[in-house]
Structure 1
């Protein structure tokens, strides 16, 4: 068992995303952390400088479009999160942690999208 609050770290991650606070977001990650994103083809980012290059434009988009927490729950070896951008696009992110209480890895992928209620398309 870990002696840190994994769910709390992910909630802090959500707060940093909502605020567009890149420094706080990056501080949640271990120095050698990795983000694997399969939203637009599989891509990996490792270390603070690559994570900064990955997150900077996304945080700007989140602050303009809106960022919402949809679901958060413990998962084997970490925490799973589903969030939405602009109230529609849903992303699933799985977080794994270092023994020191930092995010060691994040895997993000498109989540099942909700159909618009009452859509006449």
Structure 2
């Protein structure tokens, strides 16, 4: 196993999401990577073609609505990220990596959403 910067790979992933760069995003994944998304039912995607089908419409939406990194932290065997879309919808994602330094597995689900601001002037 070679040494690689897991956090750096996820920062590159964030950058690809912010800029809507599908090719860059897909290049971060291993050829046989898998993604499990529980944001709207549970859906599974495997391999570059299925990941492209998953990511293409989302990247278009992210670049229009805005994509923000809220939290990033190393966890045993990977990295956890919380990001927001349009400044409000929050998503939690966990990344696992192949020995070659590619994203092998991503699991995402809705994160705890920010409560509405109820402050008074």
The two structures share one fold, judged by TM-score above 0.5? yes
Matched, 1:109 2:115: no
1:45 correspondence with 2:45: yes
- The CA deviation string for residues 51-107 of structure 1, in whole angstroms up to 9 with x for no partner, is 000000000000111000000000111000000000000000000000000000000
Counterpart of 1:99 in 2: which secondary structure?
A: coil
3-state SS of paired residue (1:118): coil
State how far apart, in whole Å, the 1-side matches of 2:98 and 2:64 are: 32
> Which ranges in structure 1 are unaligned for 5 or more consecutive residues?
none
Runs of 4+ in 1 over 2 A off after TM superposition: none
Normalised by the length of structure 2, the TM-score is: 0.96
What is the root-mean-square deviation in Å for CA atoms of aligned residues?
1.3
Q: Distance in 2 between matches of 1:80 and 1:99?
A: 18
Measured in 1, the distance between the counterparts of 2:59 and 2:53 equals 11
The DSSP-based 3-state class of the residue aligned with 1:39 is: coil
Q: How many pairs does the alignment contain? A: 120
TM-score by length of 1: 0.96
Where structure 2 has 5 or more consecutive residues not aligned to the other structure, the ranges are none
Distance across 2 between alignment mates of 1:70 and 1:93: 11
Equivalent residue number for residue 61 of structure 2: 61
> What is the CA–CA distance in structure 2 between the aligned matches of 1:14 and 1:90, rounded to whole Å?
14
Q: What SS class does the counterpart of residue 80 from structure 1 fall into?
A: strand
- Partner residue, 2:21: 21
Aligned match of 1:97: 97
